[in-house]
Amino acid sequence: MIRTIPRALFALLAAIATLCACTSTSEEAAPSAVIAPPPGLVEDGYLTYGTAASFPPFESKDNTELVGFDIDMGKQLAEYLGLRTRVLDIDFDGLIPALQGGRVDIINSAMYINDERAKVVDFIPYMKIGESLIGKTDANVSVAKLPDDLSGKTVAVTRGAIGEKYMNDFNGQLTAAGQPPMTIMALPNNQDALLAVQSGRAQLFDTSTPGAAYTISQGAGKFEVLTTFALDTQIGIAVPKNKPELKAAIEAAVRRFIDSGKYDGLVGKYNLPADSKVNQ
């Protein structure tokens, strides 16, 4: 004998099944929901960004492959937007002109946020770092007091990076105090600045605190950090000022990146300070 399910009970079971299915679908879909990509991208289907791939551990080259914190982050942000990445490796001082000229959608290159840059681009901050001066361990160079101990020295910096501005500001202080200024050697990229110290053309090299940690770890005892300063600097992704929809989309992607825990995973992967995260 076949038993039939009463209509009322059948309807109740069906309703419960539908509710469970909807709840499950919603919970599964939410984490992977794509943030609407902004209009007017350089290339449809791609987040095109500029980077200066000479600043490990943020961006550098492993043979021909781009690697680093920003490279991994760029892929994740693009994924949240339902996009792939297209990367242009550009000298640091050419990044903002490339953005203003429409060659790239954003700058993703550990760019320090300062008032001068904020006049021409908008920023989405994602990390706070400091600045270090590195010298050769056998060079007998001491920097105990800034800017006094930089007087008369030659300091290599990346052209257009924040370190160049810091050194120019220090020179202004030295001149005002009646002391000889330092010689600032502005070079195209981070590697060139480091090589200037290695070859003896400069006594000091300015870089970020994470960059300094990486340099020391790779230098087999050849380099040492002589001083650290400006420990409240923020770096951010730069976007054009006339593209608010793009800025909103990148901000949403950065928030998701941080909230997901993947940000902390990359901080650990690249041995960055645990307190690097900015509030979003």
Residue 94 has pLDDT above 80, yes or no: yes
- pLDDT at res. 185: 98
- 186-230 pLDDT per residue, tens: 999 889 999 999 999 999 999 999 889 889 888 889 999 999 999
- 13-44 pLDDT per residue, tens: 444 444 444 433 333 334 458 999 999 999 99
Do the domains spanning 46-129+234-269 and 131-232 agree at the CATH topology level? yes
| Structure token pair of residue 67 | 């690697």
- pLDDT at res. 256: 97
- 129-172 pLDDT per residue, tens: 999 999 999 999 999 999 999 999 999 999 988 999 999 999 99
Residue 79 has pLDDT above 70, yes or no: yes
Nearest to 117 by CA among 239, 249, 276: 239
The residue with tokens 């000889």 is 180
What are the C-alpha distances in Å from 104 to residues 21, 90, 107? 42, 11, 7
- pLDDT at res. 8: 46
Q: What is the three-class DSSP state of 159?
A: coil
Q: What is the percent of the chain with per-residue pLDDT over 90, rounded to a whole number? A: 75
CATH architecture of residue range(s) 131-232? 3-Layer(aba) Sandwich (3.40)
Instruction: Indicate the pTM of the whole model.
Output: 0.76
| 230-246: average pLDDT | 95
Check the CA dihedral 240-245-248-251 and report its sign.
Answer: negative
- pLDDT at res. 279: 66
- pLDDT at res. 213: 87
Residue 53 one-letter amino acid = A
- pLDDT at res. 29: 35
- pLDDT at res. 260: 95
Mean pLDDT of the chain: 88
- pLDDT at res. 217: 87
Residue 1 has pLDDT above 50, yes or no: no
Measured distance CA(269)–CA(200) in Å, rounded:
33
Helices (H), the chain: 7-32, 69-80, 95-100, 115-118, 162-176, 190-198, 209-218, 244-259, 262-269
CATH architecture of residue range(s) 46-129+234-269? 3-Layer(aba) Sandwich (3.40)
**Domain chopping of the chain, boundaries:** 46-129+234-269, 131-232
- pLDDT at res. 278: 82
Measured distance CA(182)–CA(204) in Å, rounded:
11
| 61-87: average pLDDT | 97
- pLDDT at res. 32: 59
The answer to whether 208 and 194 are in contact (CB under 8 A) is: no
